[in-house]
Structure 1
Amino acid sequence: MFEQIVSSIATLDFWGWWILGIALVILEVFAPSTFFLWMGIAAGLVGVVAWIFPGLRWEYEWLLFALISVISIIISRLFLSKNPGVEDNPTLNQRGAQYIGRRFTLSDPIRNGRGKIHVDDSQWAVEGPDMEAGDTVIVTGVDGTLLIVDPVDKK
């Protein structure tokens, strides 16, 4: 029984390779790492080779699958490390960084370097030079959940 299962897996025809390729690409959807994608493409290519050369031994098919998979994964990793994707919103998960460059009015005065501002519907602790409530500040940096501010020059 076990030998029959191994034999049927080892000797895939071109349809079997294409089905394996599709299954690996579908698996990529659930485990996004671009790892299974290249293995799925490799299985599809081996299916094409098995279709063109139907008498190819199963050992060579699996060797070809392994080689194409490894080479394509290495090439994709090298390419992606040198060409990272461009993000449309790089501060998406850095809420404080989104406020850098914006101007706000102090809700509480800055005393001994600490104060508070209202940002949209929340209140943020700020650090900067001592100033009075109602003064306008500009956010110049972020330290964790603390916004670093400087006074806006009044001209």
Structure 2
Amino acid sequence: MPAHPQPGDPMEALFQTLADYGWWIAGLVLLILEVVVPGAYLVFFGIAALVVGTNAFLVGDWFDWPQQVVAFIVVSAVCIYLGRRWYGRDPVKDEGAPLNRRTGRLVGREARLTEAIVSGRGRVAIEDSWWTVSGPELPEGARVRVIGADGAVLQVEPVE
């Protein structure tokens, strides 16, 4: 069996398609895998494959497989370098708000009482939710600051 298909062989069309569009196919497959596989690393190789495929299409026969492989390695390295600079530029800041405790992120917020605090309990609207609050006796409409939480009950103090 010959290494390359002979003219008229059905495999010739497949090899020619892969030669013409192989980098684009590989780039699109890598970008699709980036969505499926966790992490952010296949996108750089996918972009590099698309760039090499575009150059191979535009330049034509002069840009043969050895040059394409070298170009893929170089463009991948450049994409990884630029991607690391982009992603590493602004580190994620932890502002101390616990992810799974909604009340924890409300500490420090100010709001007006929608129901007066009577016998230690009242209500306040923050964002799109109504919260039960505990604190000193205060009239409806008084400004309060959230200082803590006990379960789903916010602890408040009057704002001076």
The two structures have a TM-score, normalised by structure 1, of 0.56
Q: Is the 8 A contact 1:139 1:147 kept in 2?
A: no
- Separation (CA, whole Å) in 1 of partners of 2:21 and 2:75: 18
Listed as ranges, the matches of 1:22-101 within 5 Å are: 22-31=28-37, 33-51=39-57, 52-54=59-61, 56-82=63-89, 95-96=102-103, 97-98=105-106, 100-101=109-110
Higher Cα Rg, which structure: 2
Q: Secondary structure at the match of 1:132?
A: coil
The two structures have a TM-score, normalised by structure 2, of 0.55
Q: Is the 8 A contact 1:138 1:149 kept in 2?
A: yes
- Separation (CA, whole Å) in 2 of partners of 1:107 and 1:68: 68
Q: Is the 8 A contact 2:23 2:52 kept in 1?
A: yes
Q: Note the alpha carbon deviations across 1:76-129, whole angstroms, 9 max, x for none.
A: 2212333579xxxxxx977333571212343652xxxxxx554545546x5x6x
Two-structure CA RMSD over aligned residues (Å): 4.1
Q: Is the 8 A contact 2:131 2:154 kept in 1?
A: no
Counterpart residue number, 1:102: 111
Amino acid at match of 1:62: V
- Percent of residue pairs identical: 28
Q: Note the alpha carbon deviations across 1:55-94, whole angstroms, 9 max, x for none.
A: 5453442332122112212212212333579xxxxxx977
Unaligned runs of 5+ in 1: 86-91, 110-115
